[in-house]
Structure 1
């Protein structure tokens, strides 16, 4: 059965001391810390902080950690293989894919699907260090591509890369990607992350210069990874919703696969890209990415029947997974990470219509605007029971929204479960009880609580509902098909972007070692531009309509901070604001990935990490143990 060790804190502390003292190399530190069960996000941040601390001055390359010693994407057994020799690769995502166009996606399952086709200039390794992909090399101050003052970065593309239709990749595609994201007609979800970029200039055919609005220690975030870093083709993608829809049916990318057919909320069929720059890759000639069903059935299809090669995000009770693994056709992998299953609070009124939309940012919620109500709700969530009974695999009861990276985990928070204290808070706040109901000034504590259809999530809902009803809340549970729930389409009123409910629940986590993109989820921005609303086609990343001037000020401060340790302290302050203000209720710091892989699939090349990249980021190198 898959197992996840818990770190041995004292030994890890001694390792950290040896690293700072120069007695261990970064690689030795990483290997020994992994042996202690420490997660890679923790190792990465601590190693970066040690480097800065030892030097006595900020890193010359901002927050970036550059992969050393020739580190690259894992590619075991690819020598001498033939493109397409592996036949069909079969992937199960019980949350079905709904969209493919980069910079319009909101669900992890859609990022997974798009990363078979599209690529970024840089990728994160599992320890958070940077490696080149479309770029010829990682920019640094030392190689002259990153400005010493962090006000610009120059990206040099690899030679000979083409789009799947044979058109060469050029610096104009980087220019276009920036322009496309900033065009309001496209309602891009990447606007805040790329918002640090003032301009992108094509220096020559393969060189682009990014100039930032201010010194940017996170200069790499817009051009790195499978969430925000994907490059789109200037010659093939137009502007606006019609162009996006057309491109979805025939996406053109630089990645190892092309889309043969796409049935939203069901299935994507890919074929090997004949124009892919490495002639012996990909090993598989087709990929069948199938959605729908449920997590337990997906696990069974890999572990027991052996009909499929990979099943993603197995949010299934540990006892059931252990039983399925006895089938002998595959194995479970559990990867610690930054993922947090949480309850999100809607700060707007989902039942009042303003300017043709509900949950309008200027329409306060009738009772969730009361901090004491939110505090009482947090006290009523039995996180220990939820974690122990429904998750396992190293999961921990949640208390922070920044979790899994020890240098960013706040020591100032708790996850207390106390119904007596919760009832007392409501009494003192004037919410009077009449039988099993509470009200104040004619307003009842009545919540609609939504999440995706999943057995673990429905059991979690039942535990939370029981706790809230003990306080006098009336709770209506709502379950939505995951393909709809995580589909960010502007016309989909059941998705997490619209948030037409009082509270909802899902998992998210830090997507980089310095998780600024993650924290945009609570940043309102100037004129509330980052709040999901009808005016931006619900593309703003702040789905909860949360507005806190102190949080926004800290976000605007941290994006300018170039010192790693100072940044960590600001991020902890931001976490504490969210927890103390009960903007969110963290339930479980769950493994980033609990997956099932078939016995034939080579595990080393999957490189399932803590959450900095989606699982398919290295699919060009996937192959079989026999291959």
Structure 2
């Protein structure tokens, strides 16, 4: 592994309770009788193995690989970057505006073609081309151009970005997969069901209920001892739990409540720390949540520690400012919002929000009442956290009304005036990537970014300036101070009601193969993460 100026190990006081145990973790083979097969039960729909649609955006694919991957087993600081298709660290020039990445030689794709800079260029070109209708395009809007430079690839940015290298985890497809003369939507690409990558496994069979990955005989790296990965699709969590108990798989992803019903020694519950947050937007287009006094009061009125203990069953960490202990000296724990309903009531009273006959406060004829949309088709924790927040806020005279909606039915217009229980943390290995799109006012403008970016339409010129300066600053000490200043300003004028960073909870059979621990996980999760993140490195 290597550490550059952007990947220094940052000491923190983050508790490791509930993490994967250090060293190695044990894994099982399936009950099919094979000694080199692992069967995983997944809740996600199978297919869409396409980097342009987000597959492997955090280097988590077993079929493809990215320029870098993050180190495993690190949860209390930012993980270091490890070269994968890159041959070494990225080199920044022109004050962090130009980044050059040397590429590994002797790498081949599963179709036998040779990996080179043209493949990196083509993948990013497709990501940025509007004709692809890529789900990833918003994350790369700062790229001006990507070009081959001998055995390297050069990225030129529109504006300098000191942590740009920490974003280069997304996986790379072969240039032959893209016909730029007649490029169409990525949804229609053959890569979705017939992926071609440089990774250790190839997709050998795909059905709606099962995908089978087999180890490549011609893989350019060390041969994996797990020769076959069977992924079975079961959407319902209770059904997945029943299948695991019945011996129909070796592991799955479950909510904490279900996972805790599995006991040693047959099973192990693996609770992995993440940068995956849950929080409620407070839109400027809503007459209640637009009020700065309401935004501040609700942040003081919710009992986040109780949410961790009772709602998340201990599989989460309370957080209120998006900055977290794993960001090291950029984080100031003293700036977290305390649980102080008395202070919340005082703020509302002074701002003119007075209790009505039913206990709900009013101001100028406006009741302190608003709906919060949660997505029952996502994780159950969103519903339960929304209900817990509603219970806490009622005690200070604020009415939160939970409303279930399918996530696909929530439009950008709804985001602009109705609070939504969101999950986020898609680019957690860069602090800029974690918070810039949440807080910067450029994403409050109509049509800027994805519909959930800056979901509160938050505008704070002081935070804008701090974020812009921090993303250009390479000196780690100076950058840390700028982010602490962001946190201080956010503490006086919050944008959202952030509640927790959730743990991702997996259950596996506790015997068989041994493998490296997982990673500090992003918002996305599933069978490419947790105990199976580095499955190609498992040994008996």
TM-score, normalised via structure 2 length: 0.78
Summarize deviations over 1:254-300 as a string: whole Å, max 9, x none: 2233444364xx76554445653237337232431525212x65456
* C-alpha displacement of 1:338: 3.7
Q: Any residues of structure 2 matched to 1:229-308 within 5 Å, and which?
A: 229-237=170-178, 242-246=185-189, 247-259=191-203, 260-261=205-206, 263=208, 268-273=211-216, 276-278=219-221, 280-281=223-224, 283-294=226-237, 298=240, 301-302=243-244, 304-308=245-249
Secondary structure at 1:366 match in 2 = coil
User: Residue in 1 aligned with 2:292?
Assistant: 371
What is the distance in 1 between the residues matched to 2:127 and 2:294?
Answer: 39
User: Residue in 2 aligned with 1:352?
Assistant: none
Summarize deviations over 1:326-347 as a string: whole Å, max 9, x none: 4x32212233444433233233
User: Residue in 2 aligned with 1:4?
Assistant: none
1:117 correspondence with 2:39: no
Aligned length: 507
Summarize deviations over 1:25-47 as a string: whole Å, max 9, x none: x99x99xx99995999xxxxxxx
Alignment check: 8 A CA contact 2:275 2:428 kept: no
What is the distance in 1 between the residues matched to 2:465 and 2:133?
Answer: 25
User: Residue in 2 aligned with 1:518?
Assistant: 434
User: Residue in 2 aligned with 1:311?
Assistant: 252
Q: Any residues of structure 2 matched to 1:119-158 within 5 Å, and which?
A: 119-126=65-72, 127=74, 128-139=79-90, 147=93, 150-158=96-104
Shift in CA distance, 393/543, structure 1 to aligned 2, threshold 3 Å: same
Pairwise CA RMSD: 4.1
Summarize deviations over 1:197-216 as a string: whole Å, max 9, x none: 44322123x43233445654
Alignment check: 8 A CA contact 1:531 1:543 kept: yes
What is the distance in 2 between the residues matched to 1:270 and 1:172?
Answer: 26
1:594 correspondence with 2:527: no
What is the distance in 2 between the residues matched to 1:563 and 1:497?
Answer: 40
Alignment check: 8 A CA contact 1:86 1:623 kept: no
Greater relative contact order (Cα < 8 A, sep 6+): 2
What is the distance in 2 between the residues matched to 1:583 and 1:535?
Answer: 17
* C-alpha displacement of 1:579: 4.0
User: Which among 463, 469, 475 is matched to residue 400 of structure 2?
Assistant: 475
Shift in CA distance, 456/208, structure 1 to aligned 2, threshold 3 Å: closer
Secondary structure at 1:287 match in 2 = strand
Q: Any residues of structure 2 matched to 1:70-219 within 5 Å, and which?
A: 88-94=37-43, 96=45, 99-105=48-54, 115-126=61-72, 127=74, 128-139=79-90, 147=93, 150-188=96-134, 190-191=136-137, 194-204=140-150, 206-213=151-158, 216-219=161-164
Alignment check: 8 A CA contact 2:374 2:421 kept: yes
* C-alpha displacement of 1:558: 1.1
TM-score, normalised via structure 1 length: 0.69
What is the distance in 2 between the residues matched to 1:588 and 1:187?
Answer: 32
Alignment check: 8 A CA contact 1:75 1:621 kept: no
Shift in CA distance, 37/522, structure 1 to aligned 2, threshold 3 Å: closer
What is the distance in 2 between the residues matched to 1:426 and 1:582?
Answer: 15
Alignment check: 8 A CA contact 1:256 1:282 kept: no
User: Residue in 2 aligned with 1:69?
Assistant: none
Shift in CA distance, 90/151, structure 1 to aligned 2, threshold 3 Å: same
Alignment check: 8 A CA contact 2:438 2:453 kept: yes
Alignment check: 8 A CA contact 1:448 1:501 kept: no
Shift in CA distance, 548/188, structure 1 to aligned 2, threshold 3 Å: farther
Alignment check: 8 A CA contact 2:26 2:511 kept: no
What is the distance in 1 between the residues matched to 2:194 and 2:104?
Answer: 25
User: Which among 339, 342, 359 is matched to residue 417 of structure 1?
Assistant: 339
* C-alpha displacement of 1:115: 1.7
What is the distance in 2 between the residues matched to 1:97 and 1:173?
Answer: 25
* C-alpha displacement of 1:370: 0.7
User: Which among 497, 502, 506 is matched to residue 418 of structure 2?
Assistant: 502
* C-alpha displacement of 1:178: 3.0
What is the distance in 2 between the residues matched to 1:112 and 1:196?
Answer: 18
User: Residue in 2 aligned with 1:445?
Assistant: 368
Secondary structure at 2:352 match in 1 = coil
Alignment check: 8 A CA contact 2:301 2:393 kept: yes
Which consecutive unaligned segments of at least 5 residues does structure 1 have? 1-25, 41-72, 78-84, 140-144, 348-363, 486-491
Shift in CA distance, 520/116, structure 1 to aligned 2, threshold 3 Å: farther
User: Residue in 2 aligned with 1:458?
Assistant: 383
Which consecutive unaligned segments of at least 5 residues does structure 2 have? 1-7, 28-33
Shift in CA distance, 343/540, structure 1 to aligned 2, threshold 3 Å: closer
